[in-house]
Amino acid sequence: MIPEITLTAWQILLVKIGVILAIVPTMTLVAGYAEHKVMAHLQHRLGPMYPGGFHGWAVLLADGLKFLYKEDIIPERADRRVFSLATFAIFVPAVMVYLVIPVDRSLIVEDLDVGIFYLLAISSVSTIGILMAGWSSANKYALIGALRAGAQLIAYELPIVLSAAVVVMLSGSLSLVDIVEAQNWPFLIWPPGIGLIAFLVFTMASVAELTRPPFDMPVAESEIITGAFTEYSGMRFIFSFFFPEVANLVAFAAIGATLFLGGYQPIVPLGVLEVIPGFVWFTLKTAFMVFLFLWIRPTFPRLREDQLQKFAWKVLIPVTLALILVAGAWVLYAPEALR
């Protein structure tokens, strides 16, 4: 069907770069627009309606253009070098997460054999960027925001890592493709409860990791303006705050879809459903996760910083530790139920 094209490794790399550079901003724009619209409709209003004509689809493009024309202000007392470096430290990891997510059976930029490890590692690099931003701003709100962000991101890193460990135990591999392949049976439901609890823990911790409401204390506007990014303006603000936030939102949705919802596999292993290509399944599952995240935002008020820490250390982490033991016992003593 498709003529055999042979590409050199460098050409393949170029294609990969092109694909990622096309997909990541598009995903971000779509998710950002979805956020506007989903929230608006949940709140009985219309949301953006004018930019672009049809239901305001171009509102984020217009927004981006506006920010491009905005003055870039770095406060006098800020540490200029760290201040500008922070943008990169936040933005670059947000893009690099996408490298290892398997969109389809063979549609993956790099199928690392420690894919899940890479994913967890790279998604937590931005913590450093946020701390850099907060500290270098020499602003009190920024400092409080950065410290909150630091404490929160590391506290919720653990439930994510540990719930991912559960998945690794059940699938027996660190490669994301293998993990997806291992989910050709309803992973979420069987073995009883384990996957579901891990999924819930992962979702909650992801919301915290994304610093979205109800865990948005690091950027709580009614308390500390925009936290670490209070002093950022113009394009720099987009790159350090808005873009990574939405890009990470999609990334975590994709990770959730990959680890728990069976990635590019059909929801149930039925012959009829196999006809639908894998990336469609993947996109649907990711969209579902994104909607879940968007749904949570207008529903809850914000927690307080100490309550959030308590929730992580006293609820989520003990639960996942116990889950690991249960999953281990299950794999060892009832393996026939798995495969």
Q: Considering beta carbons, is residue 209 or 216 the nearer one to another protein? A: 216
Interface residue with another protein among 15, 72, 269, 276 (CB under 8 A) is 72
Does 294 contact another protein by CB under 8 A?
A: no
Q: Considering beta carbons, is residue 81 or 310 the nearer one to another protein? A: 310
What CA–CA distance (Å, rounded) separates 61 from 183? Answer: 38
Residues 141-160 that bind another protein (CB under 8 A): 141-144, 147, 150-151, 154-155, 157-158
- List own/partner pairs for 187-196 with CB under 8 A and 24 or more apart: 187/260, 187/261, 187/262, 188/260, 188/261, 188/262, 190/337, 190/338, 191/327, 191/330, 191/334, 191/337, 191/338, 194/166, 194/170, 194/323, 194/326, 194/327, 194/330, 195/166, 195/167, 195/170, 195/260
Residues 212-231 that bind another protein (CB under 8 A): 213-214, 216-217, 220-225, 230-231
**CA dihedral defined by 178, 107, 64, 217, rounded to 10 degrees?**
-10
Would you call the peptide bond into 75 cis, given omega within 30 degrees of 0 as the criterion?
no
Q: Which residues contact 334 (CB under 8 A, 6 or more apart)?
A: 191
Q: Considering beta carbons, is residue 70 or 274 the nearer one to another protein? A: 70
Residues 160-189 that bind another protein (CB under 8 A): 161-162, 165, 168-169, 172-174
Report, in Å, the least distance between residue 257 CB and another protein. 21
Does 31 contact another protein by CB under 8 A?
A: no
Does 329 contact another protein by CB under 8 A?
A: yes
**Do the Cβ atoms of 23 and 98 come closer than 8 Å?**
yes
Query: How many residues form the binding site for another protein (CB under 8 A)?
Result: 103
Interface residue with another protein among 9, 270, 272, 275 (CB under 8 A) is 9
Interface residue with another protein among 11, 106, 184, 307 (CB under 8 A) is 307
Does 316 contact another protein by CB under 8 A?
A: no
Kindly tell me the sign of the dihedral angle through the C-alpha atoms of 281, 292, 338, 332.
Answer: positive
Does 7 contact another protein by CB under 8 A?
A: no
Does 135 contact another protein by CB under 8 A?
A: yes
Inter-CA distances, 37 with 31, 33, 112, 203, 312, Å: 10, 6, 36, 22, 31
Does 109 contact another protein by CB under 8 A?
A: yes
Residues 260-289 that bind another protein (CB under 8 A): none
Does 334 contact another protein by CB under 8 A?
A: no
What CA–CA distance (Å, rounded) separates 124 from 153? Answer: 8
Residues 36-55 that bind another protein (CB under 8 A): 39, 42-45
Which window, 28-36, 104-112, 181-189, 278-286, contacts another protein (CB under 8 A)?
A: 104-112
Interface residue with another protein among 1, 4, 325, 336 (CB under 8 A) is 325
Does 91 contact another protein by CB under 8 A?
A: yes
Does 301 contact another protein by CB under 8 A?
A: yes
Radius of gyration from C-alpha coordinates of the chain: 21
